[in-house]
């Protein structure tokens, strides 16, 4: 696994975008913790993350390439509009999908909902430039400690990744889940 700084990633991003389009799986920073990501439209890449994390049953979230993408692909009401105004931020909004073709089926396991994020972080601008949703799930084997430093990445995960974008130790917690899919607001700390 190649480790890149923010600066290295930004310089090489067009080459790396091609790699991600072709199925690369990588670690990325956010405003909360590090995540494992891939092109959320690429079924094989999403299945690779499921295997790495040993997570077959729970859906993944995505970093959306912008609020317009969320509006185009998810159902919208006043509550969703209100929460969308809080983005970017440390929230994962669980929304009803209106376009199930916008992601690979393995992202949400065919459910009618999707967790969407726009972190308050420079990596969100990268996803916007990339123009496609990126899977975001904690960088760990399911049930293990989430990655806060390159030193604590699970050794079982490391050789299965194409690259990591590393910007130092993170001291935050995972994003807050806000379920807006049932007509009411359910907030869940993780």
pTM for the complete prediction?
Answer: 0.94
Mean pLDDT of 91-118: 96
Q: Provide the token pair at 164.
A: 């990591």
Integer Cα distance of 93 and 82 in angstroms: 11
Say if residue 190's pLDDT is above 60.
no
Q: Sketch the domain layout of the chain as residue ranges.
A: 2-188
What is the phi/psi pair of residue 158, to 5°?
-50, -50
Round to whole Å and give the CA distance between 128 and 1: 25
Measuring CA to CA, which residue among 111, 92, 57 is closest to residue 188? 92
Architecture of the domain made up of 2-188: Alpha-Beta Complex (3.90)
Question: Is pLDDT at 31 greater than 90 in this prediction?
Answer: yes
φ, ψ at 62 (rounded to 5°): -130, 150
Strands 91-96 vs 113-117: parallel, antiparallel or unpaired: antiparallel
| Average confidence score pLDDT of the chain | 93
Question: Could you read off the pLDDT of 55-75 as tens digits, one per residue?
Answer: 888 999 999 999 999 999 999
């Amino acid at each position: 696994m190649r480790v890149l700084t923010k600066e290295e990633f930004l310089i090489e991003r067009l080459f790396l975008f091609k790699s991600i389009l072709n199925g690369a799986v990588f670690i990325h920073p956010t405003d909360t913790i590090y995540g494992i990501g891939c092109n959320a439209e690429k079924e094989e890449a999403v299945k690779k993350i499921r295997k790495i994390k040993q997570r077959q049953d729970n859906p993944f979230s995505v970093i959306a390439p912008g609020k317009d993408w969320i509006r185009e692909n998810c159902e919208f009401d006043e509550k969703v509009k209100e929460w969308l105004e809080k983005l970017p931020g440390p929230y994962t909004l669980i929304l009803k999908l209106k376009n199930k073709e916008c992601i690979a089926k393995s992202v949400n396991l065919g459910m009618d909902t999707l967790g969407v994020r726009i972190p308050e972080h420079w990596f969100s601008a990268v996803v916007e430039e990339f123009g496609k949703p990126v899977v975001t799930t904690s960088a760990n084997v399911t049930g293990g400690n989430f990655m806060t430093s390159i030193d604590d990445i699970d050794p079982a995960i490391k050789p299965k990744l194409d690259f990591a974008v590393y910007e130092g130790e993170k001291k935050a917690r995972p994003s807050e889940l806000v379920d807006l899919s049932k007509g009411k607001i359910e907030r869940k700390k993780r």
